[in-house]
Structure 1
């Protein structure tokens, strides 16, 4: 494909945004933030997925699309165990926090190169309406994302001191709107991509209007480098959660998947988060205040209760249900998040 006009570029992005599909398959990616800038380089195959290096401080364990959340969790557990052995051989330590050195006013790319997150990939949904429709899922993913970010905030420190945010990682995207400002899912995604700055500081739209040459391959590279909370990558990708300590990654993966893929839970989550589209500075509040913000706290309680009920209806393992229940009781019902535990420790041992 040759040089694209502005309209052709938008059409290119929109056409490749989604491959409609019935919800059911789940993919998980877990970032590992290591203590030294010597992460193992290159891509390594694992039993189910692969281990890749995003930056000297961040390696990514990516699992395959799997039929249901429990299969996805088992496969990721296998691959994380293998990845841990690789990291150990390089004499590195995986940090329990999702950040540590990144400045909250730092460049946007630091979110991917200096912090750790958990991403959940889901089927895009079906063309048309209904709780499993693409438009409804796109809308719900956007209103749910700041709630998940607040509940799982886990990066409050910079160089060992409080940074003024419960999630420095989410502070890097604090100006994000709750939902796309234009059109349906494909049009909204295309507009976001065209107006998002690239590595050189120019957006694709600015590049074209300045007389620059832009091809489909250029757009593909640009899209691959973007880290919005909700992305269209053929499937639906939700990247709203900080990395969690230990096996804590399982909880946001399960909660995210069930709230979007279970029709009843999706309806309840949509009702719980519907008012958030009109809330000012919501991503800033999620990053700074987390669940001490009463609006986010109320939405989180409703969403986590809906998630637990859906997991029970689906008959998932008792272990997983208990883990979600324990997190809900320890954090969500008390308007806390994992970052609060870290901050409590800093206050106790200044």
Structure 2
């Protein structure tokens, strides 16, 4: 998890929460930390495959050997868990997907350089063990299978099982590109929140990269997002675009059912439907603490998650260095208040078209029309990101290819 303002590990806060008002105030203040928009972070996830046969199941011991001292403790409990050369921590998702969380930077150019360094190091580690990174937002070869044996992931799988196959798919077969942006000053929070949320369907369609799952086409441009949205709408559905997103998010957090509750044993299951508000009201033994509430927030998976910063979670992972284009585009679109306001105005007609975006991508005509205008706006704003001329030209070329797709695919639907 990228942390924009504090890269240290905080001590658990054991203070007991007294009531809903106190809990909502905590969520609103911690999840929406105000300040000048200065830093950008990025998290990249990939499925992992055998080089000689990408369909072959991944083995936990093999992956642990490949990652060696960089292996997270969810895989190797006594691992030193070293960061990669440029400082990115390495973590794993339940199905063995690898994730690097780059340290946030004020310079987008420095962020790109650091990520390139750490991705190269990760690729070399895996290659030495005959493994490669996947290039899609879903595993196109294998059925979902959980690799990590932790109480959290076991409880998640059991909680999602009654809903259908999308839970285990999201956990074990998806890979996202996540961009982390500062919340902004108090007077700009609502507009920045509206912009990153309303951009979702447009950018999902523009960068959809997961049309296959488990060896077959799915008929969806972003199978990854389809799975996420279908898991548990209270937990994974889009948030409302409101004038007071902090208060709205706080209410949503407290009214979302608990996914698990940490305990001394291996079973962290909780009675189905029990919300955090229910826990505050005495539904579970012992009152919850501030740390329990912070952990509950970590089990929320909406397309945009406020977590002290705005964590944009709706993008599919991109092949190779393709991740730089959507990151630079988002940074450009959020670079100035006037641009942010233009984004909100442009995207408003399609801000709720999450499923059409996931299903059809840029073949959805309304989204394609808006995408063309948004991409043009972003290309004009790219110089504001501070990237060098050559990088801006390269990213502009990438975005112009997306513009061409919007014109051709959107005209055919």
- Which TM class, normalised by the smaller chain length? 0.7 to 0.9
Q: Pick from 189, 194, 199: which aligns with 1:144?
A: 199
Question: Given the superposition, is the C-alpha separation of residues 109 and 161 from structure 1 closer, same or farther in structure 2, using an over 3 Å criterion?
Answer: closer
Q: Spell out, residue by residue over 1:122-167, the C-alpha distance to the aligned partner (whole angstroms, 9 max, x if none).
A: 1110011xxxx11110111110122111111111111221112111
Question: Do the aligned partners of 1:173 and 1:283 also contact (CA within 8 Å) in 2?
Answer: no
Q: Spell out, residue by residue over 1:84-105, the C-alpha distance to the aligned partner (whole angstroms, 9 max, x if none).
A: 1222234322111111245995
Partner residue in 2 for 1:346: none
**Greater Cα shift, 241-250 or 157-166:** 157-166
**Greater Cα shift, 182-191 or 75-84:** 182-191
Partner residue in 1 for 2:128: 89
Question: Do the aligned partners of 1:259 and 1:266 also contact (CA within 8 Å) in 2?
Answer: yes
- CA separation in 1, counterparts of 2:32 and 2:198? 19
Question: Do the aligned partners of 2:197 and 2:241 also contact (CA within 8 Å) in 1?
Answer: no
Corresponding residue pairs, total: 332
- CA separation in 2, counterparts of 1:30 and 1:283? 22
- CA separation in 1, counterparts of 2:406 and 2:144? 26
Partner residue in 2 for 1:318: 389
Question: Do the aligned partners of 1:181 and 1:188 also contact (CA within 8 Å) in 2?
Answer: no
**Greater Cα shift, 287-296 or 264-273:** 264-273
Question: Given the superposition, is the C-alpha separation of residues 194 and 155 from structure 1 closer, same or farther in structure 2, using an over 3 Å criterion?
Answer: same
Quote how far apart the aligned CAs of 1:336 are.
8.3
Matches within 5 A, 1:287-298: 287-298=358-369
Q: Pick from 128, 148, 153: which aligns with 2:208?
A: 153
Partner residue in 2 for 1:348: none
Partner residue in 1 for 2:350: 276
Q: Spell out, residue by residue over 1:268-321, the C-alpha distance to the aligned partner (whole angstroms, 9 max, x if none).
A: 3222112234x4xx1111111111111211221111111111113555223432
Partner residue in 1 for 2:35: 21
TM-score by length of 1: 0.85
- CA separation in 1, counterparts of 2:330 and 2:278? 35
Quote how far apart the aligned CAs of 1:325 are.
2.7
Q: Identify unmatched segments of 5+ residues in structure 1.
A: 339-350
Question: Given the superposition, is the C-alpha separation of residues 263 and 12 from structure 1 closer, same or farther in structure 2, using an over 3 Å criterion?
Answer: closer
Partner residue in 2 for 1:205: 277
Question: Given the superposition, is the C-alpha separation of residues 187 and 247 from structure 1 closer, same or farther in structure 2, using an over 3 Å criterion?
Answer: same
- Once superposed, what is the RMSD of the aligned Cα atoms? 2.7
Quote how far apart the aligned CAs of 1:177 are.
5.8
Counterpart check, 1:44 vs 2:82: yes
Quote how far apart the aligned CAs of 1:181 are.
6.4
Question: Given the superposition, is the C-alpha separation of residues 257 and 204 from structure 1 closer, same or farther in structure 2, using an over 3 Å criterion?
Answer: same
Q: Identify unmatched segments of 5+ residues in structure 2.
A: 1-14, 50-57, 65-70, 73-80, 146-162, 260-269
- CA separation in 2, counterparts of 1:313 and 1:22? 16
Question: Given the superposition, is the C-alpha separation of residues 3 and 251 from structure 1 closer, same or farther in structure 2, using an over 3 Å criterion?
Answer: same
Q: Match of 2:203, SS? A: helix
Matches within 5 A, 1:2-17: 2-17=16-31
Partner residue in 2 for 1:343: none
Quote how far apart the aligned CAs of 1:107 are.
4.1
Question: Given the superposition, is the C-alpha separation of residues 328 and 75 from structure 1 closer, same or farther in structure 2, using an over 3 Å criterion?
Answer: same
Q: Pick from 287, 290, 308: which aligns with 1:234?
A: 308
Partner residue in 2 for 1:33: 47
TM-score by length of 2: 0.73
